[in-house]
Structure 1
Amino acid sequence: MKKYNLAFRFRIYPNKEQSNIINATFGCTRLVYNKFLAQRKELYESQKKSVTYNTQAKELPSLKNELLFLKEVDSIALQQSLKNLDTAYKNFFQKRADFPKFKSKKSSRKSYNTVSTNGNIRIEGNSIKLPKLGLVKIKLHRAIPQNYIIKSATISREPNGAFYVSVLTEFVADIVPVPSDNNIVGLDFSMKELFVSSENQRADYPRFFRKLEAKLAKAGRELSRKVKFSSNWNKAKLKVAKIHQSIKNSRKDFLHKLSRELVTKYNAIIIEDLNMKGMSGALNFGKSVSDNGWGMFALMLQYKAMFCGKQVIKVDKWFPSSKTCSICGNIKTELALSERVYRCEECNSEIDRDLNASINIREAGRSLLAY
């Protein structure tokens, strides 16, 4: 038996008083983060000394006595803000991230994290109990199993004004690996269709951003004509945010359903380990790459497969999947992006370029399977 973590994200509908407390908590956690980040920077620049999390945590009570409004919000959220700062420093020194930056009040998405202690976070009917907020109305689109232990909650506000809570749970399970039994599929990334599988399945991605691009551009032009921070500017800004949120929600819904379908159908899924950021810059396909959300899709496949005892294998991004003939194994030296049909000079075969690549990806990943 092994412990696993799984997060559940729900829309919440706080009343006016609860919304004010949430917004105040955003501000207080930002203040604590920025104040102690400034302290760390100043101490290092003046004395070349470092400050530990424990040292700063001991200073938090005196700061709360100095700034009494900090006592009006969740104390655990303030402590978590300090822990986030400590994590940011560790990530920087271990070369996993850039140097920590000060948090801006103008940031479009705001959030804070709080930890579950003595049942202070729990689901009660159609509401969720949260520290300092009491019972908040929640949209429970899926149930949290009773044997799952709530560990923490992250409350966030999207640019369109909608509030969400992400509930992190812990559970114990014995996930039995499912043998592949040749029930394997290869997926070749496609800019237009998201992927083409080795069984010639095409995702037919709806391209949500492209569908609303004209509407988004019009809303953006309307926003640019408004006086900044005026009432009409705020209304126009909200309109733009709602369009972005609609695109985001539609994309996530489509990818969740598609990844679940694939994980249910196959015992092993082989994909390429692609650098999407580099690809979008090098090929000038930034909008198209961001629109189909391949990185998010790959992540969904991985964690859903893990919980089902199945495998998602990534083959090297430099593997010549498109240039290799899936029938005879001949490798072309040159293959233009415009050539959508693969023609092999050795065996005279013709096959759809993406289908050919997906078959090669499947066979390359077959040897990497763990069981």
Structure 2
Amino acid sequence: MIQSIRVQLLPNNKQRTKLFQFAGAARYAYNWALDKQMDNFREGRKIQTDSELRKAFTILRHSEENKWLLNVSNNVTKQAIKDLCIAYKNFFCKQKQPGYIKYSSKKVTHYTRIGKSLTVYDMNGHPKFRSKKNGDFRFYQDNVKIQFTGTHVKLESLAGSRRKNRQRLNWIRLAERNRIPVRAKYTNPRIAFDGERWWLSVGIQISRTLKPLRRLSFVCKKQQPARSEGIGIDLGIKDLAVLSDATKVGNINKTRAIRKLKKKRRRLQRQVSQKYQMNKKGDSYCKTSNLIKNEKQLLRINHRLANIRYNHVHQATTSIIKRKPSFVCLEDLNVRGMMKNRYLSEKIQEQNLYEFRRQIEYKAHWAKIPVVIADRWYSSSKTCVICGHVKKELNLLERTYICPVCGNIIDRDFQAALNLKRYGEAEQVKLANY
């Protein structure tokens, strides 16, 4: 099993400069390889393999125009080219899927309006060029040469010299002590910049064996740890989650802290927009120091909002798994379809519904708790929990379910959680009989 860990880096000014240089080299290699593959694809030639592109890039790397690439580790540019080849493989796999649409209707309408023709680059799923303007600063480190201590991480070829007094540049301080084990097998170390801070993400191989996610193993009762009843979870907008034991996980976006941050963000967005209009010179914009300062403040607020929501989901999912239920049943929500509702799209996006499901699945996997995903068309809210009558029409404004057959009056979200619990129990019985 591989567990991923993400830690913040605390580089000094010299190290920060080298990190940007490494990220620029990775972006340059990726865009160079993409340009080559686009020419091959456009002219009907065979797509070049990963090894062929890397051999050509090695020749380019030693040319006089690109001598600056010699100051960057070869593994950084190699992996960038490999990432591009993987992206192209995924693009071809997506084309083979049933129902693939070559060009989206919005893109066709836009290009028709401006009088331009669609190219290979505009196809759905085609890899895109990495842009410095979009804040694309990320690169790979060799998983064998990377080293960790309790407080620092050593990156490959960061100092650019073998002298002892320069070797200190290779060691970057970590924001958290003893977060990453010193002696372990590391996989896919990546370093990225989010516009404010540098982050290191790495996978660590863990030796413990886990049971399959959606299967139940039936062993002797004496060997099984004590488990509580199963839990059905109904996700929503009013509350993040309603559990079948009547527990509610509140909506963090309704708290005072979030509302104050969103109000501050709206004001900053207006200031940034007004300053852009004031500094407009023809078709271009002139960025002043005050404008850059306001954009950094805006970025900091966005990160703060995302971290609060992410932490709330982590706390909610951890508290559910710590109860040690016999199973967890969730809905298979069509979040992409729900986002098409322009009145609720912002609220749905702020809830992080898919992130909640992802965390429940991997935390339950670690705790050896089976997860049952209900069918997408299972009418959990419309089915009466007492008599089983299915109400054909149930508007979002109707928060209380009133059964026309048995007269049952119950909160619709709590009823959905109870129905999901029954769905999970039925799936357990099927697996036991199977």
Q: Output the TM-score relative to the length of structure 2.
A: 0.80
Aligned partner of 1:342 among 378, 401, 409: 401
RMSD: 2.0
Aligned partner of 1:126 among 147, 151, 159: 151
Q: How many pairs align? A: 365
Matched, 1:206 2:241: no
Q: Which of the pair has more CA radius of gyration? A: 2
5+ residue gaps in structure 2?
98-123, 159-169, 212-216, 218-223, 280-285
d(CA) in 2 for partners of 1:146, 1:326:
53
Deviation of 1:212 after TM superposition, in Å, equals 2.1
Matched, 1:304 2:304: no
Q: Secondary structure at the match of 2:62?
A: helix
Q: Secondary structure at the match of 1:234?
A: helix
One-letter identity of the residue aligned with 2:311:
D
Q: Identity over the aligned pairs, expressed in percent?
A: 27
Q: Is the 8 A contact 2:187 2:203 kept in 1?
A: yes
One-letter identity of the residue aligned with 1:184:
G
d(CA) in 1 for partners of 2:33, 2:342:
42
d(CA) in 1 for partners of 2:76, 2:372:
38
Task: Answer with 168-177 or 18-27: which moved more.
Answer: 168-177
Deviation of 1:110 after TM superposition, in Å, equals 2.4
Matched, 1:313 2:372: yes
| Residue number in structure 2 paired with 1:99 | 126
| Residue number in structure 2 paired with 1:157 | 193
| Residue number in structure 1 paired with 2:214 | none
Matched, 1:143 2:179: yes
d(CA) in 2 for partners of 1:366, 1:106:
51
What is the CA deviation profile of residues 69-118 of structure 1, one whole-angstrom value per residue up to 9, with x for unaligned ones? 1121222111111111011111111118701111111113521122311x
| Residue number in structure 2 paired with 1:5 | 2
Q: Is the 8 A contact 1:147 1:171 kept in 2?
A: no
Q: Secondary structure at the match of 1:336?
A: coil
For 1:1-371, list aligned pairs within 5 A.
4-66=1-63, 67-95=66-94, 98-117=125-144, 120-133=145-158, 134-140=170-176, 143-145=179-181, 148-159=184-195, 161-175=196-210, 183-207=229-253, 210-226=259-275, 227=279, 228-265=286-323, 266-282=325-341, 284-369=343-428
Deviation of 1:154 after TM superposition, in Å, equals 1.0
Q: Secondary structure at the match of 1:164?
A: strand
One-letter identity of the residue aligned with 1:264:
K
Deviation of 1:262 after TM superposition, in Å, equals 0.9
Q: Is the 8 A contact 1:129 1:136 kept in 2?
A: yes
Q: Is the 8 A contact 2:327 2:424 kept in 1?
A: no
Q: Output the TM-score relative to the length of structure 1.
A: 0.92
d(CA) in 1 for partners of 2:52, 2:190:
25
What is the CA deviation profile of residues 290-328 of structure 1, one whole-angstrom value per residue up to 9, with x for unaligned ones? 111111111111111111111222111211111000111
Deviation of 1:267 after TM superposition, in Å, equals 3.4
